[in-house]
Each structure stands twice: as structure tokens, then as C-alpha cells.
Amino acid sequence: MSSNQPPPLVDYNLFDSDLPLRESFEREGASWAHDLVHELGRLAGTQQAIDWGFQANANPPMLHTHDRFGERIDEVEFHPAWHDLMKVAVGHGLHALPWREPRPGAHAARAAGFYIWSQVEGGHGCPVSMTYAAVPALRKEKTLAALWEPLMTTLAYDPGLRPATKKRGVLFGMAMTERQGGSDVRANTTRAVPAGSDGEHLLTGHKWFCSAPMCDAFLVLAQAPAGLSCFLLPRVLPDGTRNRFHIQRLKDKLGNRSNASSEIELDNAPAFLVGEEGNGVKTIIEMVNHTRLDCVIGSASLMRQAVAQATHHAAHRQAFGKLLSEQPLMVNVLADLAVESEATTILMMRLAGAFDRSSDPEEAHFRRLAVAVGKFWTCKRAIAVVAEALECHGGNGYVEESILPRLYREAPLNSIWEGSGNVNALDVLRAMGREPESVNAFFTEIDAARGADPRHDRAVEELKRELSNREDLESRARRLVERMAVVLQSSLMLRYGDPAAAELFCSSRVDRDWGHTFGTLRSGGNLKSVIERHRPRFQ
Ligand SMILES: Cc1cc2nc3c(=O)[nH]c(=O)nc-3n(C[C@H](O)[C@H](O)[C@H](O)COP(=O)(O)OP(=O)(O)OC[C@H]3O[C@@H](n4cnc5c(N)ncnc54)[C@H](O)[C@@H]3O)c2cc1C
């Protein structure tokens, strides 16, 4: 064994070794799913699953536009490791748990499972997330839902392009973004021409970013006679012929290499109206709300894996005669990272819980605002956390085999997708303007920690003052949303977090006794205990 090289972080249970997750899991009513998530935690720590993650990224998908006879096939071939990852994800219901088992805590249970399994590999989470998110949007069209939902919610991963009726399980994607506009989907130029009495239309146009193009069907936005509308577009038509969904090329992109993102052309492609014609954004926003939750889960997952790796590394690597985990400045960095990870995990589970309880109007209002606030902040923080955790490994963190480069490349995506930072921050303003009840629900949650810490109480008052100032709101949106996120997290940390971590959160993030980089906590706190709480243990 080489001297002074840490043992690989393998054969540990990602659920068991994650105290903030386990505590939130119980609190949000997901304990009935313990065995499922515990098993995912075990699997995620095995060498085999870790290998799948590396193999799927070392062997990117390949596009085959035509067969040997020159006929279009528009197929993407994935490495077997991708299919192994997908089989576990779908087999454990990460694409459908709350729709299969609509019981209290189901979104929270799924969030925990998705967070754990995404730590193995992020790319395959994309179709898993989109399938989960498509169900509530599709339910706006009962006939289509009756046909597709049973297939979207089976535990069978059944890849390959065949008609829905010939499949044991299907996956969904989404296609909104076009060359001339992504955030501004109203600029979509894809046209939908009515072609039948059952909502059938023919779609012609392009989509500039269409991820996971081997999904069985897509929710697509297109301009119908009454305006922008949402359609279900199957890749294979009921008679077994391929729909005219032509993959132009795969994107050569930052981020994971396992998943395919494509540019597509639709050429009179049959698709079916979902929801009211002209109300496409309102329809697809149901899907977007759920994928936004997944952006928070994905960010929490990246942070957790980065912090697990960094705390593990530092506990085994020495420099200047001492373990890194004993060096006071490294202790400061690791504790600061752990605090951020804990605050994110707790927020993620609280948001998932709000999806579970959204039949309660108060929770629905909270969800509307808090998901937008949480997505903006956690996606941004993940980038900084992963970069710093990478540096904790020194040069070893720069090497692909350490997983840190993969996490680093993946980190910016969640902030771009489903509402890039600015658009997301502006959406928070929109939610507050259009749905004042969401502001009340948000403050009810924040106020629940009143009296627990004077720094939190002061921050709440300051936030209220900031929000009542209507001047230059748009320009101040990021500043406001950042503060809303921090105060929401402090409320959660004070009530549910590790007291030592909550104290550090308040002194740094809330009271701003902090620098601009991680590792700038005021010294003297109980930093080592915070790190130990976050360091994964072997079984
Ligand atoms: C890996 C990957 C996979 C993707 N997969 C899919 C997919 O499967 N389906 C799909 O439909 N899309 C997908 N997308 C596209 C993604 O959703 C868009 O890139 C995103 O919505 C931003 O749109 P845009 O790229 O057109 O940027 P633009 O809309 O041009 O925005 C550029 C920048 O301007 C900012 N901005 C925009 N409006 C304002 C404003 N009013 N004020 C201030 N700033 C503003 C944005 O925040 C952003 O930072 C994917 C993207 C990536 C990177």
C-alpha cells in the first residue's frame, strides 16, 4: 500500500453515513421507505456502482442518424453502464415513487433516493427526473395520461424505440429551448398544425437543447393557432413507424459525458395537445416545478458527495507531520463546507416535504416561492462547494479518478437548466407579486425559528425592510433572493440542524462574520464535531 494515500471511499452506505439526510428523512415522514433508500445507499457505495459511473462517462453516447441503407433511425447508443445505472434508478422508483405510492412522505422519500443515487453519477438522473416531472403536467390531459402514466410508473427499465403499447416502461423528456430563445420560450417558432379531432397536431420546427433523446416521448412547446401550447410527442407512432423527430447532432458539452443532449428537427411530426391550446407555458410549468426541485436535489447531492470525499481524504492524508484533518486551517475549510452541505440537505428535504403536503394551501404557497428561492441559491452554492472540496484533495482532486473533476463539471448545470440564475431570481419577484400568499407562507416558515437566535431575528427584520423597498427591484433581485435563501436556511438549521453547525451558519451566513471564501469561519467554534458528523464511515 502506498504511504500517505487515503483508502478509496468504497463499501459504505450513503444513507447510513449521512446524518442530516437521515434526520430530515424521518422528519418529513418518509421512514416507511427506509428499506428502499437504505438499499440504494448500500448499492451506491459499492465498487460496481462506482465503476458504472466512471464507465458511463468514459464511453459517451453515440449518435446513429441513419442505418446502413440510408434510412433515418435517429438512435443514440449508450454504454451498458448507462443502462445499469438506469435500471437501478427506475427499479427503485426514482422516476415515479410519489405517483406509484401517493402517500405522505413519498416526494421526500424519492428526494432522498435521488440524492443518494445521483452521487454515483449525475447524467442519467436527467431522464429519470424528466419522467418524474412529466406526470403532473400530463395529468392535464386525461386520455393521454390514462395511456401513458401506467407505463411511466412501472419499475421496468425497458430501453429501445418501440410503440408505447409494446413496452413495459417508458421515459419522458422535454423540449422547450430553441436556437433563438430558451428562457424566453414565447419566442418559440416551432409550429403546430391541427391534424385531427383528438388533439393531434403536426409539429414542424427545431429544438436546440433536447436531452436524453432516446426517451419514448417528449413534452414539447409549439405555436398552435391559439398560441404557444404543450404537446406530447412520441418517438414511435402507434403503427410502429418512427416519428419524424430527427436528431441533427449531439452537443459537445461541459458537464457529464454519459448523457446525450441533442439538437433536433421536427418535420410534420404527429403530437397530441396537452392542456388547453394557447396555455402551453401554464401546462408545462407543472413539469418545470418538479424538475426545479430536482435541481435543488442534484445540487445537494453534488455537495454531499464532494464533502464526503473531502472529509474522507483529509482524515487519511498527512502534510507537515499531521493529518490534514488536524490542521486548523483545513478544519476551518471542511467545517465551512459541511455547514453548507447540511443547510442544503435540510432545505432540499423541506422542499420535497412541501410537495407531499401541497394539498394544504399554506404548503402550496410556500412551495411556489421556496422552490424558486432554493433553486437559485443551492445551484450557485454547489459550484463553490465542489471547487473548494476539490482543492482539499490537492493535485489528487484534479485527477479524473478522484470523481471530483466530474462533480466540478456537473456543478454549473442545475443553475442554467429550468431557469438560469437571473431568470430564476426574477421568477421569485414574479411569485411574490402575483401570489402574495406565498410571501406570507414563506415568512411563516422563517418565523418558526423566531427567538431561537437574535441574529436570525435581526436578519428577518432586515429582510422584511429590504422587501418593502420597491425601488430598482429587478436589479436587486439576486441580492434579495440570496438573503431570502440564507434566512430560510437559518430557520431550518436552528430548528433541525446540528446545533454546532447551526451556530456556525448563523455567525457566518446570517451575521456576516465571514470572508469571501470557504474556511473563513470565526475560529473557536466546535468545528471538528461538525466535520465528524459529515465524514462517511466504512461499514
Ligand atoms: C446540459 C443542458 C441540457 C439541457 N437540456 C434541455 C432539455 O432537455 N430541454 C430543453 O428544453 N432545454 C434544455 N436545456 C436548455 C436550458 O433550459 C436553457 O439553456 C436555459 O433555459 C437558458 O436558455 P438559453 O440557453 O436560451 O439562454 P438565454 O435565454 O439566452 O439566457 C442567457 C442568459 O441571460 C439571462 N437572462 C435571460 N433573460 C433575462 C432577463 N430578463 N434579465 C436578466 N437576465 C436574463 C439568463 O439567466 C442567462 O444567464 C439544456 C441546457 C443544458 C446546458
For residue 257, the CA-to-ligand 1 centroid distance in Å is 20
For residue 182, the CA-to-ligand 1 centroid distance in Å is 5
- Judged against a pLDDT cut of 90, whether residue 41 lies above it is answered with yes
For residue 186, the CA-to-ligand 1 centroid distance in Å is 13
For residue 327, the CA-to-ligand 1 centroid distance in Å is 42
Which of 215, 420, 426, 430 to mutate to test ligand 1, by most ligand atoms within 8 A of the CB atom? 420
- Judged against a pLDDT cut of 70, whether residue 539 lies above it is answered with no
- The answer for residues whose C-beta is within 8 angstroms of residue 391's C-beta and 6 or more apart is 397
The alpha carbon torsion through 475, 467, 347, 256 (nearest 10 deg) reads: -10
- The answer for residues whose C-beta is within 8 angstroms of residue 321's C-beta and 6 or more apart is none
Q: Is 231 left (phi over 0), alpha (psi -120 to 50) or beta?
A: beta
Ligand 1 nearest-atom number relative to CA 183:
29
Instruction: Please write the tens of the pLDDT for every residue from 284-339.
Output: 999 999 999 999 999 999 999 999 999 999 999 999 999 999 999 999 999 999 99
Q: What is the pLDDT of residue 509?
A: 98
Q: What is the pLDDT of residue 221?
A: 98
Q: What is the pLDDT of residue 197?
A: 82
Mean pLDDT of 80-100: 98
Q: In which residue are the cell numbers 448523457 written?
A: 259
The DSSP symbol for 201 reads E
Give the binding-site residues of ligand 1, using a 6 Å CB cut-off: 173-177, 181-184, 209-211, 253, 255, 261, 413, 416-417, 420-423, 426
Q: How far apart are CA 510 and CA 189, in angstroms?
A: 45
User: pLDDT exceeding 90 applies to what percent of the chain?
Assistant: 97
- Judged against a pLDDT cut of 60, whether residue 529 lies above it is answered with yes
For residue 415, the CA-to-ligand 1 centroid distance in Å is 9
Q: How far apart are CA 347 and CA 491, in angstroms?
A: 10
Instruction: Please write the tens of the pLDDT for every residue from 170-227.
Output: 999 999 999 999 999 999 999 999 998 889 999 999 999 999 999 999 999 999 999 9
DSSP 70-126: S-EEEEEE--HHHHHHHHHHHHTTTTTHHHHS-STTHHHHHHHHHHHHHTT-STTHH
Which of 126, 131, 209, 235 to mutate to test ligand 1, by most ligand atoms within 8 A of the CB atom? 209
Q: What is the pLDDT of residue 1?
A: 57
Cβ–Cβ under 8 Å, residues 382 and 414: yes
Mean pLDDT of 155-164: 97
Sort strands 72-77 and 62-66 into parallel, antiparallel or unpaired.
Answer: antiparallel
- Judged against a pLDDT cut of 90, whether residue 393 lies above it is answered with yes
Confidence band of 434 (pLDDT split at 50, 70, 90): very high
Ligand 1 nearest-atom number relative to CA 207:
11
Q: How far apart are CA 449 and CA 356, in angstroms?
A: 22
Instruction: Please write the tens of the pLDDT for every residue from 227-280.
Output: 999 999 999 999 999 999 999 999 999 999 999 999 999 999 999 999 999 999
Q: What is the pLDDT of residue 523?
A: 85
Instruction: Please write the tens of the pLDDT for every residue from 457-474.
Output: 999 999 999 999 999 999
Q: In which residue are the cell numbers 401570489 written?
A: 435
Beta bridge mates, 173: 218
Q: From atom 33 of ligand 1, which residue's Cα is the shortest distance away?
A: 420
C-alpha cell at 415: 443553475
Confidence band of 525 (pLDDT split at 50, 70, 90): confident
Query: What CA–CA distances, in Å, run from 130 to 133, 171, 174, 190?
Result: 5, 8, 7, 21
Q: What is the pLDDT of residue 14?
A: 98
Q: From atom 40 of ligand 1, which residue's Cα is the shortest distance away?
A: 423
Q: Tell me what the pLDDT averaged over the chain comes to.
A: 97
Beta bridge mates, 203: 192, 269
**Which residue from 518, 449, 421, 442 is spatially nearest to 485, judged by alpha carbons?**
442
The DSSP symbol for 351 reads H
Q: From atom 23 of ligand 1, which residue's Cα is the shortest distance away?
A: 182
Q: Is 193 left (phi over 0), alpha (psi -120 to 50) or beta?
A: beta
- Judged against a pLDDT cut of 60, whether residue 376 lies above it is answered with yes
Q: In which residue are the cell numbers 465542489 written?
A: 386
Cβ–Cβ under 8 Å, residues 43 and 88: yes
Instruction: Please write the tens of the pLDDT for every residue from 500-516.
Output: 999 999 999 999 999 99
The rounded Cα 69 to chain-centroid distance in angstroms is: 41
Q: Does the CA dihedral 307-309-312-315 come out positive or negative?
A: negative
Q: Is 496 left (phi over 0), alpha (psi -120 to 50) or beta?
A: alpha
Ligand 1 nearest-atom number relative to CA 259:
1
**Which residue from 235, 218, 230, 102 is spatially nearest to 167, judged by alpha carbons?**
235
Q: How far apart are CA 59 and CA 314, in angstroms?
A: 31
Mean pLDDT of 408-429: 97
Which of 183, 210, 211 to mutate to test ligand 1, by most ligand atoms within 8 A of the CB atom? 183
Q: What is the pLDDT of residue 193?
A: 98
Q: How far apart are CA 416 and CA 60, in angstroms?
A: 22
Mean pLDDT of 112-141: 98
Query: What CA–CA distances, in Å, run from 307 to 34, 285, 335?
Result: 23, 33, 9
- Judged against a pLDDT cut of 80, whether residue 37 lies above it is answered with yes
Confidence band of 524 (pLDDT split at 50, 70, 90): confident
